[in-house]
Every structure is written in C-alpha cells, then in structure tokens.
C-alpha cells in the first residue's frame, strides 16, 4: 500500500528551487519544458520522492517534494537527471549555440556542460499553513511574471490539478492524494486543498494558443519568444487557502 505523507516537523516537505546557469532562458520552448517534466518524473521514480507541486519558468523551476532520503541525495538525483535529459535534447537537436552558453571547462567525469547553478535553494516545510503558502507562491509565478492572467492558464504547472480541473494531457501528475491532512478544514475537501488524481480531467473550454518562437526549429537560447497561454476551466480559479 502506498505510504501516506503527513506534514510536520518530524516529516518535512521540501520547497526546492533550481536556477539555470547564469539564469539563461533555457526553458522557453514547449518541447524543452516537456523534456524537463519527463525528467522530473524520472527523478521522482529514481529517488522515490513524492511530488506535490511544481512550475517550470523560462530560467528556473520550483518543486515541492517529501524527503525520503537526505536532501543532498534528492537534489543530486533531481538536478542530475534533469540536466542530462535537457543537454541530451540540445545535442540531438544540434542546438550548438545553446550548448556553447552552457559549456564550461571539463571537470571530473568529463562533464562539459552545466544546466544548473550550484547553489542549494532548499527550504524545509513543517506545517500545512506554510505548505499551502508555497503551493500558492509556485502557482502564481507565471501570473506575477505577466505570462498569463490566471495560474491555471500556464501549462507547465500543477495549478490545474490543485483546482480540480486537470487537462487530459497534464505534463506532470502530482502525489497530492498521498498527503494525510491533519487540518479538519482540508480534510473536508470543500476548499479544493485536498484534490485527488482520480478526478476526471476536464477538456479545455477554450482553445490553447501555441507559443511562437522565431521559427519552430530555432535555437532555444536565441531569438524572441512568446509564452504558452491556456484558457481552461469555465470557473475562475481561486487561491487555495
């Protein structure tokens, strides 16, 4: 039976931020964000952590996980797998200009490229109130950046899952149904603070607009770009308390 997770000082969640090298806008293109989503899922299975919330911005990402292993091990697997998959993708697409921006002097094990900055931005979460603050902060990142009007309109985010209106093809599923809430308010389910993955996906009510990057085959670190905007869910998404 899958284990349950209860947020407490003895069982902390992790709020993790990964910034790209020199804050380069590596994740501008839909295709690369998809690669990152698949890599995060691969890391989740490899390290055995639960994933509760995420967003992928153009030059950084946020995730909230549990802590089944030491923080250093969770970071090693998460950063290592995502970096390998993104760099492999850039090589496959022959994006030499982007690779050049990520290149560094050859280090141990012949590493030639760095996707992530070396700092360790990990914040422990030990209460349900703090947990929900971080969830809302993550989901509102694209709104604050002016990329979308509503959090649920940004594709590479867990906002729709938390609002109970997931797409048929969500880029990344969450483990929020594995949280054992202590708060009676959240146990009730009326606040949408405890949605489950079993919720039937809703189809988009409005057509999604494709992001436009100067030519579909353009190098991801070159040229101008526009952001993906999804208009979904007829209801207005409220902030989860």
pTM: 0.80
Q: Tell me the pLDDT tens digit for each residue of 131-162.
A: 999 999 999 999 999 999 999 999 999 999 99
More confident residue, 191 or 157: 157
Q: How many CB atoms neighbour CB 18 within 10 A?
A: 24
Does residue 231 register a pLDDT over 60? no
Query: Which of 33-47, 146-160, 189-203 has the least mean pLDDT?
Result: 189-203
Domain ranges of the chain: 13-187
Residue 68: what pLDDT?
94
Question: Could you tell me which CATH number the domain at 13-187 has?
Answer: 3.30.70.1290
Region 87-108: what's the mean pLDDT?
Answer: 87
Highest mean predicted confidence (pLDDT) among 102-116, 118-132, 173-187: 118-132
Does residue 62 register a pLDDT over 50? yes
């Amino acid at each position: 039976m899958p284990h349950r997770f209860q947020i407490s000082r003895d069982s902390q969640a992790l709020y993790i931020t990964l910034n790209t090298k020199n804050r380069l806008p590596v994740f501008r293109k839909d295709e690369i964000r998809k690669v990152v989503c698949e890599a995060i899922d691969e890391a989740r299975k490899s390290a055995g952590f639960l994933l509760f919330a995420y967003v992928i911005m153009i030059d950084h990402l946020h995730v909230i996980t549990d802590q089944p292993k030491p923080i250093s091990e969770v970071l090693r697997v998460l950063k290592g797998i995502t970096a390998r998959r993104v760099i492999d993708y850039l090589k496959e697409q022959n994006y030499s200009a982007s690779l050049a921006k990520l290149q560094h002097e050859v280090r141990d094990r012949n590493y030639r490229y760095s996707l992530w900055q070396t700092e360790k931005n990990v914040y422990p979460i030990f209460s349900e109130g703090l947990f929900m603050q971080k969830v809302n902060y993550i989901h509102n990142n694209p709104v604050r950046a002016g990329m979308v009007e509503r959090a649920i309109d940004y594709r590479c985010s867990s906002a729709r899952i938390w609002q109970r209106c997931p797409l048929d093809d969500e880029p990344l599923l969450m483990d929020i149904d594995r949280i054992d809430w202590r708060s009676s308010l959240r146990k009730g389910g009326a606040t949408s603070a405890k949605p489950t993955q079993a919720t039937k996906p809703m189809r988009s009510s409005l057509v999604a607009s494709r992001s436009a990057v100067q030519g579909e085959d353009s190098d991801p670190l070159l040229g101008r770009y526009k952001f993906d905007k999804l208009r979904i869910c007829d209801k207005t998404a409220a902030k989860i308390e």
